[in-house]
């Protein structure tokens, strides 16, 4: 975290207050375009209201461009709006699976106007680990629980929009368990897909302990960027690994 | 002319068939099961049921029955048999049932059966044709034959398909083939009785044929009874389950909702109630009725829930791995409880806990987001708690550490692996 390296883009006046340091990540001028997919209208309304309130102080971090209650509508809305980030419930009506993974697969290859792929953040209340893993293996960039605070959700959206991965403590715990890292299995080389490297294990453990990325960075004497790289690498392993336990373990287990 | 847009039938003019063939192929309609209509009028509705089932004209069926009745009484027997054994259902009677032939093979089968029946009838009517047989032999044979066909037809298409396709590599067809051969042998034995074969052989075959006939007759009924029984069982189980769920929801969720409404002015109480109820419901839904204290992970989870309930502050707990719950585990869970209580009382939410149970021991971390504190300014009781946490862990071969961070406190608890286990 280095406040001196702020690069005011365009005509940002040099305000002495430095008010919007809450996000801490670059201060992009354009808000993140978000589509909200959840089959409960009450929940959609709640998230919108909460996020709007959380953003009311500073500049708008995200802008809601659409919402959808089921798989087909979601795919249609996402293809039409090409948002930066889709907040996606794991369970949705419609689709051949449980819904969430179907949406991710149905929108494969859709890109935003800026040319980056549409990114998905799984948001769910209580689900079987296998469903969450299915959504992530379909391509979602992260998983957070619905009990997340609005402020954390805003920063998670920001992070996913930047192409980083977002792991809740529970997902980190799951990864440690499923990759056998909790039992001491460590990859010899970083590229090994079926195991975590020693550093990735450390990062996952700290996230499971409830540390924020910048706290992880401080604890391990590395930069936040490096932490993000490690988390993204773990996400890649989670998506690509053919490790048998990954699905076998997830069966019948709940993340929450 | 066509009422149901079904598959073209041989009865229709070629032009109509060509017109009907133009749209995309319609999936073969399943044949309706053989049931009589309650609204059939003054007759029992047997003919209509058969006609609807076979998809042929009612008039044709009636004609067949009359012919059979005239030729030795087989038609009467079959009619009564059908009347007694087919079920009744509320179906609107159709004037002209749609003629449906889902398979050509079936049609050939019916044709063959019809030819056999006609031949048998002729043989009976004209005794001098070559085979000298008495009606007393033929009637049971015909009755058995018709009965078998009818009995098999009573199963609807899906059931029959399942039966025929059951077993690897056409065992179903083999069964049918063997049954047919046996039936044929039985009929032949009946017809040549007392002439060209010995009496014993003859009697044996006759008995065998009756047995086979009985089996063929009984099997579908047994299947039907069994499936009915199963359906009732499933329905009963579902009803019981529903009642259980209703009872549980009433005792838990509805009560909590009532409490929440009463305490709506107190947000903390509402949060606590909702959180406790959510957890309880989740346990009930996903974990089943285990609730055992056998494992360390379960014990640790219970401790976290208890702290949550007492203070109404959510505790985010993540546990990886597991091991049996023994005395060191007890010490750890108690120390963890103290640490959690501390965090909940003196720190600020969110309170997170992570317990890693691995082959190299147990590590537990409790973290809160308090503003940090001055160690000297800590009240005595808290220090005492800290000492008790530390002391307890050390007595069990472990260790405890309290770390002050910029934005909170973290307690670390460690336990060595259970003795005798490989590290």
Kindly report the average pLDDT of chain B as a whole number.
Answer: 70
Query: What pLDDT, on a 0 to 100 scale, did the predictor assign at position A24?
Result: 41
pLDDT average, residue stretch B361-371? 83
Domain boundaries, chain A: 31-163, 165-256
Average pLDDT over residues B317-334: 83
Q: Is the torsion defined by CA of A66, A72, A76, A78 positive or negative?
A: positive
Residue B412 in contact with partner chain A when CB distance is under 8 A: no
Q: Check if B202 contacts A (Cβ < 8 Å).
A: no
Cβ-defined contact of B358 to A183 (cutoff 8 Å): yes
CB-nearest to A170 from B318, B321, B360 is B318
Chain B contacts of A254, Cβ < 8 Å? 282, 286
- Judged by CB atoms closer than 8 Å, whether chains meet at A169 and B319 is answered as no
Give me the pLDDT at residue B21, please: 40
pLDDT of residue B319: 86
In this predicted structure, what is the pLDDT of residue B224?
Answer: 86
Res A116: pLDDT: 82
User: Within B291-354, where are the H helices?
Assistant: 296-311, 327-346
A165-256 has which CATH code? 1.10.10
Q: Is B359 on the interface with A (CB under 8 A)?
A: yes
pLDDT in the model for residue A12: 35
Count of residues in chain A: 256
Nearest to B354 among A149, A183, A208 (CB): A208
Cβ–Cβ < 8 Å for A31, A60 = yes
Q: Which residues of B touch A182 (CB under 8 A)?
A: 320-321, 356-358
Asked if the C-beta of B409 comes within 8 angstroms of chain A's C-beta atoms, the answer is: no
Question: Going from the N-terminus, what domains does chain B have, and what CATH number goes with each?
Answer: 21-223 (no CATH), 293-415 (3.30.565.10)
Token pair in block for residue B300: 């640790």
At residue B367, does pLDDT exceed 50?
A: yes
pLDDT at A188: 64
Q: Which residues pair with B316 in a beta bridge?
A: B352
Whether B319 contacts chain A with CB within 8 A: yes
More confident position, B250 or A69: A69
pLDDT reading at B159 higher than 60: no
8 Å CB contact of A182 and B354: no
Q: Is the pLDDT of residue B65 over 60?
A: yes
- Is the pLDDT at B90 greater than 70? The verdict is no
Strand order in the sheet with B408-415: B315-320, B351-358, B361-367, B408-415, B399-405
CA atoms within a 13 Å half-sphere pointing along the CA-CB vector of A145? 17
Does the domain at residues A31-163 carry the CATH identifier 3.40.50.2300?
A: yes
Q: Which of B406, B389, B308 is nearest to B353 (CA)?
A: B308
pLDDT (0 to 100) of residue A90:
83
Dihedral sign of CA atoms A19, A22, A26, A30 in order: negative
- From the CB of residue B190, how many other CB atoms can be counted at a distance below 10 Å? 19
Average pLDDT over residues B160-188: 58
What is the value of pTM for the model shown? 0.55
Task: State residue B316's pLDDT score.
Answer: 83
- Chain A, 186-205: which have a CB under 8 Å from a chain B CB? 205
In terms of Cβ atoms closer than 10 Å to its own Cβ (0-12, 13-18, 19+), residue B101 is: buried
- Does position B203 have pLDDT exceeding 80, yes or no? no
Q: A172 touching B, CB under 8 A?
A: yes
- pLDDT score at A182: 62
The more confidently predicted of residues B191 and B24 is B191
pLDDT at res. B140: 52
What's the pLDDT at B89? 66
By CB atoms closer than 10 A (0-12, 13-18, 19+), residue A53 is exposed
Q: What confidence category does residue B147 fall into, taking pLDDT thresholds of 50, 70 and 90?
A: low
- Backbone phi, then psi, for B391, in 5-degree steps? -60, -45
What pLDDT, on the 0 to 100 scale, is given for residue A89? 86
pLDDT in tens, chain A (256 residues): 333 333 333 333 333 333 333 344 444 457 888 888 888 888 888 888 888 887 776 667 778 888 888 888 888 888 888 888 888 888 888 777 677 788 888 877 777 777 788 888 988 775 567 777 888 888 888 888 877 778 888 888 888 888 888 888 888 888 888 787 666 666 666 666 677 888 888 899 999 888 888 888 988 899 988 888 888 888 888 888 766 556 555 555 555 4
Strand arrangement of the beta sheet that strand A119-124 belongs to: A62-68, A32-37, A85-88, A119-124, A142-145, A166-167
pLDDT of residue B284: 76
CA A251 distance to own-chain centroid: 22
Mean pLDDT of B216-245: 86
Weakest mean pLDDT among B25-39, B44-58, B162-176, B300-314: B162-176
Selected residue of B275, B286, B318, B336 to mutate for chain A interface (largest A Cβ count, 10 A): B318
**A-chain residues within 8 Å CB-CB of B286?**
254
How near does any CA of chain A get to the CA of B38, in Å?
A: 40
Among the partner residues B352, B360, B410, nearest to A184 by beta-carbon distance: B360
Point out which residues pair with B363 in neighbouring strands: B356, B414
C-alpha A24/C-alpha A58 separation (Å) is 12
Q: Which of B98, B89, B69 is nearest to B154 (CA)?
A: B89
Residue B207 pLDDT: 80
Please choose, from the candidates A140, A47, A156, A158, the residue with its C-alpha nearest in 3D space to the C-alpha of residue A88.
A140
* Residue in A closest to B365 by C-alpha: A209
Between A73-77, B122-126, B361-365, B385-389, the lowest mean confidence (pLDDT) is in B122-126
| Overall size of chain B counted in residues | 423
The better pLDDT of the pair A87, B152 is held by A87
Query: When comparing pLDDT for B37 and B303, which is higher?
Result: B303
Q: How far apart are CA B61 and CA B78, in angstroms?
A: 12
Q: Is A126 on the interface with B (CB under 8 A)?
A: yes
Indicate the pairing of strand B351-358 with strand B399-405: unpaired
């Amino acid at each position: 975290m280095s406040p001196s390296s702020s690069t005011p883009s365009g005509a940002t006046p040099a305000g002495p207050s430095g008010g919007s340091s809450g996000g801490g990540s670059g201060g992009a001028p354009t808000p993140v375009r978000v589509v909200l997919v959840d089959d409960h209208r009450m929940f959609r309304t709640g998230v919108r209201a909460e996020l709007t309130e959380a953003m009311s102080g500073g500049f708008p971090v995200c802008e809601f461009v659409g919402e959808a209650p089921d798989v087909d509508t979601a795919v249609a809305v996402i293809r039409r709006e090409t948002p930066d980030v889709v907040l996606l419930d794991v369970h949705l009506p419609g689709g051949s699976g449980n819904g969430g993974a179907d949406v991710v697969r149905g929108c494969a290859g859709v890109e935003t106007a800026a040319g980056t792929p549409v990114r998905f953040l799984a948001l769910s209340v209580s689900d079987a680990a296998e469903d969450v893993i299915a959504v992530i293996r379909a391509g979602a960039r992260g998983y957070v629980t619905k009990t997340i605070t609005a402020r954390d959700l805003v920063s998670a959206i920001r992070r996913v929009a930047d192409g980083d991965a977002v792991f809740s403590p529970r997902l980190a715990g799951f990864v440690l368990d499923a990759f056998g890292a909790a039992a001491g299995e460590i990859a010899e080389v970083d590229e090994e897909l079926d195991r975590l490297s020693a550093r990735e294990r450390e990062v996952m453990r700290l996230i499971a302990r409830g540390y924020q990325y910048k706290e992880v960075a401080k604890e391990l004497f590395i930069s936040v960027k490096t932490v993000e790289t490690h988390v993204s690498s773990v996400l890649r392993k989670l998506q690509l690994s053919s490790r048998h336990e990954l699905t076998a373990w997830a069966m019948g287990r709940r993340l929450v | 002319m066509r009422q149901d847009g079904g598959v073209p039938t041989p009865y229709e003019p070629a032009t109509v068939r060509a017109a009907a063939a133009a749209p995309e192929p319609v999936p073969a309609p399943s044949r309706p099961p053989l049931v009589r209509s309650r609204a059939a009028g003054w007759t029992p509705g047997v003919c209509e049921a058969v006609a609807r089932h076979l998809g042929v004209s009612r008039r044709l069926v009636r004609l067949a029955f009359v012919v059979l009745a005239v030729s030795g009484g087989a038609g009467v027997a079959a009619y009564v048999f059908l009347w007694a054994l087919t079920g009744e259902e509320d179906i609107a009677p159709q004037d002209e049932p749609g003629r449906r032939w889902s398979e050509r093979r079936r049609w050939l089968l019916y044709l063959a059966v019809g030819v056999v029946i006609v031949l048998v009838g002729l043989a009976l009517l004209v005794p001098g044709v070559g085979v000298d047989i008495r009606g007393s032999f033929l009637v049971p044979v015909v009755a058995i034959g018709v009965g078998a066909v009818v009995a098999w037809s009573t199963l609807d298409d899906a059931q029959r398909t399942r039966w025929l396709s059951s077993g690897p590599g056409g065992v179903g067809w083999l069964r049918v083939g063997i049954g047919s051969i046996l039936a044929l042998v039985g009929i032949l034995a009946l017809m040549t009785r007392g002439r060209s074969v010995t009496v014993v052989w003859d009697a044996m075959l006759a008995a065998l044929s009756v047995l086979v006939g009985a089996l063929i007759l009984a099997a579908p009924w047994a299947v039907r009874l069994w499936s009915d029984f199963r359906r009732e069982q499933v329905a009963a189980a579902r009803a019981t389950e529903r009642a259980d769920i209703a009872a549980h929801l009433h005792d838990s969720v509805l009560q909590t909702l009532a409490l929440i409404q009463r305490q709506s002015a107190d947000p903390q109480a509402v949060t606590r109630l909702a959180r406790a109820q959510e957890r309880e419901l989740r346990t009930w839904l996903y974990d089943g009725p285990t609730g055992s204290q056998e494992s360390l992970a379960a014990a640790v989870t219970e401790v976290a829930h208890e702290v949550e309930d007492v203070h109404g502050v959510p505790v985010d707990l993540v546990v990886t791995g597991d091991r049996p719950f023994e005395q060191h585990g007890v010490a750890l869970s108690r120390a963890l409880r103290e640490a959690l209580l501390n965090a909940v009382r003196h720190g600020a939410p969110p309170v997170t806990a992570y317990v890693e149970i691995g082959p190299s021991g147990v590590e537990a971390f409790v973290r809160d987001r308090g503003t940090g504190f001055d160690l000297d300014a800590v009240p005595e009781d808290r220090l005492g708690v800290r000492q008790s946490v530390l002391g307890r862990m050390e007595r069990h071969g472990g260790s405890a550490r309290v770390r002050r961070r910029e934005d909170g406190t973290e307690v670390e608890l460690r336990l060595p692996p259970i003795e005798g286990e490989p590290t």
